[in-house]
Amino acid sequence: MTLPTVGFIGLGIMGRPMARHILQAGYPLLVHSRSRPPIDALVQLGAREAATPAALAAQCEVVITCLPDDATVERVWLTGENAALPAMRTGALAIDMGTTAPSLAQRLADAARERGIAFLDAPVTGGQWGAEAGTLTIMVGGDPDAYQRALPILQTMGKKVVYVGASGNGQRMKLANQIAVAVGMLAVSEALLFAEQAGLDLNLTVETLSSGAAGSWAMENLGTRIAQGDFQPGFMVKLLQKDLAILMDEARRTGTPLLGTALVQQLYSGFERTGEESLGTQALILALRRLRGE
């Protein structure tokens, strides 16, 4: 069976390893990104480079994006010079794997449908570590037949791929995920702040709490980084803040009270003011330490 040619746009912290997994699974791969090094790395592994999103889209049966924000997603897919959707073939498949507003996902799906193209919103969770290991959880909204077509490709990048309904529902599921991520990070940070103040060893605290009712992915992975003083990003503060801004807009629109999420958003806002927004989300404990007077 001949595998479809896949195009991947956006080779950042997440996109580069995700694209690599597609290539290593045997799919012919075209890539495009703003940054040169990840393009060169993937070309060395056998990918081909496309000069623009349109040039990539014209050659591919499946086009995937992993981009940082709504404005970039809309420009690359639809409104920018050399946008991807207008260049895609009828019957092709478009997949956006970043986190955007559900309304944008629905708008892009409508624009794709008018051109005879299927569009899926398929955001991911699992951070850089999940992208590197190919163990992401992928939440997919859109046409169910398009989901079945996309599934073998998505399975190269994730260990759990879930169809969650109509266009925009992938993004809604991701926003629900981000509530748990944000408030969970606060719980981990407060627990370790208390342990630190009490004079407990933080590595021992993380090991102990991870094995009981307080155990979580955040405690085991990000708690370990906090204990080691490592605030390098698996997922950046600025990207979580972008997601939380989308989330709070949705919450206001639906009248959903998200008190804990709003508090975390405010705590992270200090990093944006100090130029530290590229730290990992585990840096939340630094905000709490500063409230303590450090």
In the residue annotation, 242 being an active-site residue is answered as no
Q: Tell me the mean pLDDT in the region 119-136.
A: 96
Question: Who's near 248: CB < 8 A, 6+ residues apart?
Answer: 258, 261, 262, 265
Domain annotation covers residue 138: yes
Q: Tell me, yes or no, whether 160 and 37 share the same domain.
A: yes
pTM: 0.94
At 69-111, the pLDDT tens digits run: 999 999 999 999 999 999 999 999 999 999 999 999 999 999 9
Residue 190 has pLDDT above 90, yes or no: yes
Last residue of one domain, picked from the residues 113, 143, 165: 165
Q: Tell me, yes or no, whether 189 and 141 share the same domain.
A: no
Domain extent at residue 191: 172-291
Q: Tell me, yes or no, whether 137 and 178 share the same domain.
A: no
CATH number at residue 216: 1.10.1040.10
- Reference 109, options 149, 174, 166, 167; nearest CA is 167
Q: How many domains does the chain have?
A: 2
Distance CA 286, CA 174 (A): 26
The sign one gets for the Cα dihedral 146, 152, 154, 155 is positive
Cα 31 to chain center, whole Å?
Answer: 18
The larger pLDDT score, comparing residue 61 to residue 294, is at 61
Q: Tell me the mean pLDDT in the region 153-170.
A: 98
Q: Tell me, yes or no, whether 23 and 159 share the same domain.
A: yes
Alpha helix locations (H) across 79-213? Answer: 102-114, 127-133, 144-154, 169-197, 202-210
Q: Tell me, yes or no, whether 21 and 141 share the same domain.
A: yes
Domain annotation covers residue 1: no
Last residue of one domain, picked from the residues 137, 165, 193: 165
Domain annotation covers residue 99: yes
Q: Tell me, yes or no, whether 139 and 42 share the same domain.
A: yes
Q: Tell me, yes or no, whether 154 and 55 share the same domain.
A: yes
Last residue of one domain, picked from the residues 131, 165, 199: 165
Q: Tell me, yes or no, whether 187 and 96 share the same domain.
A: no
Domain annotation covers residue 220: yes
Q: Tell me, yes or no, whether 207 and 97 share the same domain.
A: no
Domain annotation covers residue 280: yes
Residue 1 has pLDDT above 80, yes or no: no
On whether the CB atoms of residues 171 and 123 are closer than 8 A, the answer is yes
Domain annotation covers residue 143: yes
Question: Who's near 51: CB < 8 A, 6+ residues apart?
Answer: 32
Residue 243 has pLDDT above 80, yes or no: yes
Distance CA 185, CA 288 (A): 12
Q: Tell me, yes or no, whether 23 and 158 share the same domain.
A: yes
On whether the CB atoms of residues 140 and 105 are closer than 8 A, the answer is no
Domain annotation covers residue 284: yes
Mean residue pLDDT across the chain: 97
- Reference 225, options 253, 192, 197, 252; nearest CA is 192
Q: How many CB atoms lie within 10 A of CB 117?
A: 23
Distance CA 17, CA 5 (A): 18
Distance CA 150, CA 155 (A): 9
Q: Tell me, yes or no, whether 15 and 159 share the same domain.
A: yes
CATH number at residue 152: 3.40.50.720
Backbone phi and psi for residue 11, each to the nearest 5 degrees, phi listed first: -115, 55
- Reference 136, options 144, 125, 146; nearest CA is 125
Q: Tell me, yes or no, whether 144 and 181 share the same domain.
A: no
At 3-46, the pLDDT tens digits run: 999 999 999 999 999 999 999 999 999 999 999 999 999 999 99
At 249-293, the pLDDT tens digits run: 999 999 999 999 999 999 999 999 999 999 999 999 999 999 998
Distance CA 165, CA 144 (A): 8
